[in-house]
């Protein structure tokens, strides 16, 4: 027997709280969050009437994320992202990677961040990527790397500097998409 489709009211009741919290964490005021939430559910009703949505939660959160991005583009007066001076990572992105939240939206965001980070690292020259990986992931000190490789410490520092600069630039787009107002 085919699965019974949920009514728009049932979908609203089921996802209103989680989706509202997801949106509220990403926009500056509760009023803006409510406006976006209403717009997302209105679009859901309109879309589902023409072409039934099979993955309701994924559709709702993706649409909410897109509306938040559009909203952020209209309100550019947001604070600049905080950057961890040691790693060069944008704080919110780094926090997301180690967050214990297992909600579907957090898992989805972590997956996107990992993909973007991997792509950004793959774009680096091997020397820069290796120094960044060895110091940030493996925990090697520059002095230790210099002794092991015979490469001057100043060269290693320079390579990491360029890697961090590239990652900041690349991850700034990700930051803007997910963490700005």
Q: Could you tell me the residue ranges of all domains in the chain?
A: 8-74, 91-179
What's the confidence (pLDDT) of residue 101?
58
CATH topology of domain 8-74: Rna Polymerase Sigma Factor; Chain: A (1.10.1740)
CATH topology of domain 91-179: Arc Repressor Mutant, subunit A (1.10.10)
Q: Is the pLDDT reported for residue 113 higher than 80?
A: no
Tens-digit pLDDT profile for residues 119-176: 888 999 999 999 888 887 778 888 888 888 899 999 999 998 898 888 888 877 666 6
CA–CA distance, 28 with 33 (Å, rounded to integer): 8
> What percent of the chain lies above the pLDDT cut of 90?
18
Q: Determine the Cα angle at 95 with ends 90 and 98, to 5°.
A: 135
What's the confidence (pLDDT) of residue 181?
45
What's the confidence (pLDDT) of residue 30?
92
The answer to whether the CB of 20 falls within 8 A of the CB of 33 is yes
Q: Do domains 8-74 and 91-179 have the same CATH topology?
A: no
């Amino acid at each position: 027997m085919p699965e019974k489709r949920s009514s728009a009211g049932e979908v609203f009741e089921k996802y209103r709280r989680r989706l509202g919290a997801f949106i509220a964490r990403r926009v500056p005021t509760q009023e803006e969050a409510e406006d976006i939430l209403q717009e997302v559910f209105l679009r859901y009703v309109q879309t589902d009437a023409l072409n039934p949505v099979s993955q309701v939660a994924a559709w709702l959160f993706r649409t909410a994320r897109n509306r938040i991005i559009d909203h952020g583009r209209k309100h550019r007066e947001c604070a600049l992202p905080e950057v961890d001076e040691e790693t060069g990572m944008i704080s919110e992105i780094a926090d997301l990677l180690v967050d214990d939240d297992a909600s579907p939206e957090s898992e989805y965001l972590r997956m996107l961040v990992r993909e973007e980070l991997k792509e950004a690292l793959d774009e680096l020259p091997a020397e820069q990527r290796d120094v960044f990986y060895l110091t940030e992931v493996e925990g090697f000190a520059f002095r230790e790397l210099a002794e092991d490789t015979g490469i001057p410490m100043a060269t290693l520092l320079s390579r990491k500097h360029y890697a961090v600069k590239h990652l900041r630039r690349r991850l700034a787009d990700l930051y803007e998409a997910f963490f700005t107002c």
